[in-house]
Amino acid sequence: MRTEVSLETRIKDQCALAGYDYEYLYRFGKKLLKLYRDVSRNNTLDAEDILEDICSESYESDISSQMSSALTRLEFFASEYTKNKFESDIRRSLRTGWMVRVMDQVKMNVYTFDDYGPEFVSILTLCYMSSFRFTGAEAAQELGISEQNLYKKKKYAVILFALEFEEYKREITACCNPVRYTGEQMTLADFMH
């Protein structure tokens, strides 16, 4: 009990020092992680489909040759509608890729939280960041802890994740807004929509 109280106090103090409301971060973190789960789950399959569609008739074993051949076919033989559809799909995949990289960086920052970081990352991964949706009982069994303990630690993990995301956003905005990826511009505001 004493360690749980001290953990909650540590996280509340960290939130206060960074200038964020503890309850706001909990609500924000849950929304952010649910958004990530839905986007990641849906777009992982979409990205695989796009790659398969682009390279479907290339028989060469070299991936760059397959991509080059597929892009040449798209450029010279595809209809405008097909070109626009693939451009849109690729843009969406790049945007999703950027989101995954941001979330992975934030997850790595959570991992460094003293004593609890690795456990928090495991909880976040099982409860929000995997394509398989675990129940509370399944996640608790996988982690080897009680369900009650899982729910307490999940709340702390979500708050810490939201705090690390806000800090990451602040850092990126201060040093290099807009964030550039593969020849396009994207701001953190785009990420949130």
CB contact set of 67 (below 8 Å; sequence gap of 6+): 54, 55
Would you say residue 91 has pLDDT above 50? yes
> What total number of domains does the chain contain?
1
Would you say residue 148 has pLDDT above 60? yes
Domain hosting 95: range is: 2-48+86-192
54 alpha carbon, distance to own chain's centre: 25
Q: Is residue 75 part of a domain?
A: no
Would you say residue 1 has pLDDT above 50? no
Q: Is residue 167 part of a domain?
A: yes
pTM of the model: 0.68
Mean pLDDT over 64-74 rounds to 71
d(CA 76, CA 83): 10
The torsion defined by the Cα of 170, 114, 158 and 16, in degrees rounded to 10, comes to -60
Nearest CA among 31, 34, 32, 10 for reference residue 22: 10
105-127 pLDDT per residue, tens: 899 999 999 889 999 999 998 88
Q: Is residue 80 part of a domain?
A: no
Q: Is residue 76 part of a domain?
A: no
d(CA 21, CA 179): 27
Looking at the chain, the whole-number percentage of residues with pLDDT higher than 70 is: 73
CA angle 25, 28, 31 (to 5 degrees): 150
More confident site: 109 or 76? 109
